[in-house]
Amino acid sequence: MLLARLTQANGAPGQEGEVRDLIRAEIEPYVDVLKMDTLGNLIAIKNPDAPGPRVMLAAHMDEVALMIVGVDSSGYLKFRPIGGVDPRVLVAKTVTVGAKKIPGVIGSKPIHLQRAEEREKAFAIQEMVIDIGAKSKEDAEKLVKMGEIAYFTTEYEEIGQNKVKAKALDDRVGCALAIRLLKEEVSFPLIAAFTVQEEVGLRGAGVAAYQAEPDLALILEGTTASDVPGTDKHKHATAVGQGPAITVMDRTVIPHPQLVQELFALAEEKGIKVQVRRNTAGGTDAGQIQLSREGVKVAVIAVPCRYIHSPVSVMSKDDFEGAYELVKSYLARLEEREGSR
């Protein structure tokens, strides 16, 4: 399955090559232009010279991960997060480190050795290490170089009632949607931008949009689902199983109101269950794409994912299919408009 292969691939910010290669092989037969820019964005275009609106689908390839920044005298690896990772979810998780995919475990002082006051608070990043079984600093440095990346090892698996657990659903779910949609037949220029370094400041999206010059862009994302214990229902940003979420505002963007309302109306017309992304914290590539050149109409369509930015997330396959059907219907509606002119 495409989503399984995408989530199993590794791609930290700035090191998205494995993911990019997988996507390139998947979409090459379906596009007329396929290029990689200096930052590493992969840009694919169908019908580049056709009349009609230039429509961009955008999804970022990178995932949150850990960078190796030191080795202590006993051979334990010191690390720092790349992207927003909550330190509280890291202890005892398994990882692979570097190009050699050296297996390791994130470790900390065991509870038996902790003082009473230490048991009352979570470990900070500085109090954790990655144990690769090395005997010494020299032994570890033969296997791992500074700046290499540690990735979580979570396997893709279908669970419960049509749910999926995997790492990197943010945003391999968006990449999978964009790939499927590129295989649809359209007559206007359709651009897919698979962007880099979203997790460290939306760095690739503005560069991609500047090149592609879209008239409008649909950003396809995995977003926070807060239907978890301890969160009041009225505070839920989104909920898994309630359909794809359409953003009305976040920290980086106010999407184009007319485009947003058109998506809601289309969902109602087609019987596609959707929800509003109600939390305004965080941001997406829409924030940079909207500001490109003379400005771009943007909307964000996201698949809710529980436990986002952690070693494992959970999503609904029904929400994924709903997002696909909504964007597919929107592209078909554009096709109808262009045909009537």
Residues with catalytic annotation? 198
Single-letter amino acid, residue 273: K
Q: What is the rounded CA–CA span in Å between residue 61 and residue 59?
A: 7
Beta-carbon count within 10 A of 3 CB: 21
Distance of CA 329 to the CA centre of its chain: 23
Q: What is the rounded CA–CA span in Å between residue 317 and residue 130?
A: 33
Single-letter amino acid, residue 192: A
Q: What is the rounded CA–CA span in Å between residue 88 and residue 296?
A: 38
Coil, helix or strand for 185? Answer: coil
Q: How far is CA 34 from CA 43, 186, 210, 211, in A?
A: 6, 17, 16, 13
Beta-carbon count within 10 A of 72 CB: 12
Report whether 37 contacts 268 (CB < 8 A): no
For residue 161, give both structure tokens. Answer: 């009632």
DSSP 8-state symbol, 202: S
Helices 317-339 and 169-182 cross at an angle (nearest 10°) of 40
Report whether 282 contacts 315 (CB < 8 A): no
Q: What is the rounded CA–CA span in Å between residue 298 and residue 246?
A: 11
Report whether 154 contacts 312 (CB < 8 A): yes
Please name the residues in contact with 257: beta carbons below 8 A apart, sequence gap of 6 or more.
none
Coil, helix or strand for 16? Answer: coil
For residue 231, give both structure tokens. Answer: 């969160």
Q: What is the rounded CA–CA span in Å between residue 101 and residue 145?
A: 12
